[in-house]
Amino acid sequence: MVMAQATSPALIDPRQTLDFERPLVELENKIHDLKQLAGGELLAAEVKVLEKRASRLREDIFARLSAWQKVQLSRHQLRPHTLDYITRMFDEFFELHGDRAFRDDEAIVGGMGRLRALDGQSVLVIGHQKGRGTKEAMRRNFGMPRPEGYRKGRRLMELAARMKRPIVSLIDTQGAYPGIDAEERGQAEAIAKNLEVMAGLPVPIVGVVIGEGGSGGALALGVCDRLLMLSYSVYSVISPEGCASILWKDQSKVETAAAQMKMTADDLQALGVVDEIVAEPPGGAHHSHDEAARLVGEAVARHLRELSQLSPTELLDLRYAKYRALGKYADDFVATVAPVPGS
């Protein structure tokens, strides 16, 4: 795991926090305010006492996060999105638009850029973009792509293959858009075609789940040689709300659903789905976009360096073997699954 460095948190509006992190944020804001005051040794000593208290509280809260709390963190309104990472990880990023068939879909962004942590090597970076604020979120359809978004992604990845450029995929979506217009234009076909194409691209592909990895909408950018997850991101076939609605017709069971679905980074690494967990800054990626981007950039660069030593044939053979190994049936699997309360 790539380790995060402690950073001084900026002032955060308590109204933009989750219930379980509010005591910590209020304490950190108090420390922030004290540091703005001109004071002597007494004030400095008080700040040190509060910083130690905040450190202990942070460790206590984040050492015992439930699966549902990690889902909440993955959706945090202040969490960095794809463009936040791109602006911090890449130089000379040039965004490319359109699927050359229907229109541009702003729920997916992609283009060429120079990865700073990889000595400025040119790569294709692509990812889901949820948007901030009501207007941008609506313009980007809250990060839920339509078929033209996935076809744009496929066009860009095929371009990268022709140019022999590695691909970095940043995954952050609650899922593909399920609207009638999307279905009319072939949503399922667009996702399936992406899976087929990504499986056969002869260039290194590193994917990172930076927030939510929702179902086929995430998998359409997720067929990778190496799949990484941030420590408070999630990756699953359905949301906990959807699972609770289908299995129990009871939204109060979302916490049970989140735990049973094995959707956290730790669960998925144990199952062999995820290759590496990238640690987030203390308190979560939303506390320091810069530090989160540094950690992701270093991890991505390390994996790309390793993959660059392989020939195209070796890449494809290992990618095939990676996905063939997923989902192997084990006779003792049923015994490892905890019973669902109330089932």
342 occurs within a structural domain: no
329 occurs within a structural domain: no
Q: What is the pLDDT, as a whole number, of residue 332? A: 55
6 occurs within a structural domain: no
Q: Which residues contact 109 (CB under 8 A, 6 or more apart)?
A: 82, 83, 86, 95, 126, 127, 129
Same domain flag for 29 and 92: no
Residue with tokens 């940043």: 170
pLDDT over 90 for what percent of the chain?
A: 73
Q: Which residues contact 181 (CB under 8 A, 6 or more apart)?
A: 146
Q: Provide the mean pLDDT of the chain.
A: 89
- For the stretch 57-97, pLDDT in tens is 787 888 889 999 999 999 999 999 999 999 999 999 999 99
53 occurs within a structural domain: yes
Structure tokens at 221: 């950018």
Q: What is the pLDDT, as a whole number, of residue 157? A: 97
Residue 311's CATH number:
3.90.226.10
CA 30 to chain centre: 30
Same domain flag for 299 and 265: yes
Same domain flag for 163 and 292: yes
Residue range 108-124: mean pLDDT, rounded: 97
Residue with tokens 């992190």: 21
Band of residue 318 on the pLDDT scale cut at 50, 70, 90: very high
Q: Which residues of 69-106 are buried (b: 16+ CB within 10 A; e: fewer)?
A: bbbbbbbbeebbbbbbbbebbbeebeeeeebeeeeebb
330 occurs within a structural domain: no
9 occurs within a structural domain: no
Helix crossing, 187-199 with 147-162: angle to 10°? 20
Q: What is the pLDDT, as a whole number, of residue 53? A: 78
- For the stretch 264-276, pLDDT in tens is 999 999 999 999 9
Same domain flag for 51 and 197: no
Residue range 235-248: mean pLDDT, rounded: 93
pTM of the model: 0.86
Higher per-residue confidence, 282 vs 41: 282
Host domain of residue 301: 71-324
Q: For residue 261, which amino acid is it?
A: M
250 occurs within a structural domain: yes
Is the pLDDT at 34 greater than 70? The verdict is yes
Q: Which residues contact 40 (CB under 8 A, 6 or more apart)?
A: none
| Domain count along the chain | 2
Q: What is the pLDDT, as a whole number, of residue 25? A: 77
Residue with tokens 């095939």: 320
Residue range 277-293: mean pLDDT, rounded: 93
Same domain flag for 273 and 292: yes
Band of residue 249 on the pLDDT scale cut at 50, 70, 90: very high
Is the pLDDT at 127 greater than 90? The verdict is yes
Same domain flag for 279 and 175: yes
- How distant, in Å, are the alpha carbons of 61, 104, 264, 284, 300 from that of 69? 10, 34, 10, 12, 26
Same domain flag for 19 and 158: no
Does residue 238 contact residue 195 with C-beta atoms inside 8 Å? Answer: no
Same domain flag for 95 and 127: yes
Same domain flag for 156 and 255: yes
Same domain flag for 48 and 125: no
Of 24-33, 75-84, 104-113, 301-310, which range is least confident? 24-33
Taking alpha carbons only, the member of 68, 15, 31 closest to residue 264 is 68
Q: How many CB atoms lie within 10 A of CB 330?
A: 8
Q: What is the pLDDT, as a whole number, of residue 339? A: 59
Same domain flag for 113 and 259: yes
Q: What is the pLDDT, as a whole number, of residue 5? A: 47
214 occurs within a structural domain: yes
Which three-class secondary structure string do you get for the chain? CECCCCCCCCCCCHHHCCHHHHHHHHHHHHHHHHHHCCCCHHHHHHHHHHHHHHHHHHHHHHHCCCHHHHHHHHCCCCCCCHHHHHHHHEEEEEECCCCCCCCCCCCEEEEEEEEHHHCCEEEEEEEECCCCHHHHHHHCHHHCCCHHHHHHHHHHHHHHHHCCCCEEEEEEECCCCCCHHHHHCCHHHHHHHHHHHHHCCCCCEEEEEEEEEEHHHHHCCCCCCEEEEECCCEEECCCHHHHHHHHCCCHHHHHHHHHHCCCEHHHHHHCCCCCEEECCCCCCHHHCHHHHHHHHHHHHHHHHHHHCCCCHHHHHHHHHHHHHCCCCCCCCHHHHCCCCCCC
Helix crossing, 22-36 with 41-63: angle to 10°? 160
- For the stretch 38-66, pLDDT in tens is 555 667 777 777 778 777 878 788 888 99
Is the pLDDT at 322 greater than 90? The verdict is yes
Band of residue 6 on the pLDDT scale cut at 50, 70, 90: very low
Band of residue 283 on the pLDDT scale cut at 50, 70, 90: confident
Higher per-residue confidence, 212 vs 9: 212
Residue range 148-167: mean pLDDT, rounded: 97
Residue range 93-113: mean pLDDT, rounded: 96
Same domain flag for 93 and 139: yes
